Structure 1
């Protein structure tokens, strides 16, 4: 296990969010599974939002005034950042939990 300056821990070439490990590693498995399932649901919502923002950005007219990508593209990039950040949370929780819980479709 190697810690870096960004409060992450690399385990076997995998990045883990150390604060999440510390907060959850002593929880009963049942509680940890509940938290993990909710994190997966959150990730799914963020994924759906990112997909919608992508479609909106594809349909938006190209913006060339003022050197900006435009509001639709910025909204898409922000949504993707949120989704990927949540994926790191889910990945860390799954590592602590030790299995992938069953998550019913929404």
Structure 2
């Protein structure tokens, strides 16, 4: 049976309204499945950002002064992707009301 999931979101928290709308009417079980996948996606994006950071740090002394270089740009892009996905994940967690157990891959 579907529940009114959107009513659980606190008005003082930053939430992604499209995520709330898309999940409206979903059962808690379906929402938990989506949230678990979002947690796994966040972990992959976090690991990718960590890798890009290391690559950038290894190139610090070899890059031209007129640009931050491709390694830094790749790191910034990876961090933006990770933080954007984190906003969606945070909204899903607020809607779900708990953090589901997700084993490490």
TM tier, shorter chain?
A: 0.7 to 0.9
Deviation at 1:68, TM superposition (A): 1.4
Runs ≥4 residues deviating over 6 A: none
Aligned length: 96
| RMSD of aligned alpha carbons | 1.6
Structure 1 length-normalised TM: 0.84
1:11 aligns with 2:11: yes
Q: Structure 1 unaligned segments of length 5 or more: list them.
A: 1-8
Q: Structure 2 unaligned segments of length 5 or more: list them.
A: 1-8
Higher RCO, 1 or 2 (CA under 8 Å, sep at least 6)?
A: 2
Partners of 1:74 and 1:62 in 2: how far apart?
Answer: 15
* CA deviation map 1:31-90 (0-9, x unaligned): 10000000000000000000000000000144235x211000000000000000010010
Structure 2 length-normalised TM: 0.85
The question of whether the paired residues in 2 share the 8 Å contact of 1:25 and 1:96 is answered with no
- Higher strand proportion, which one? 1
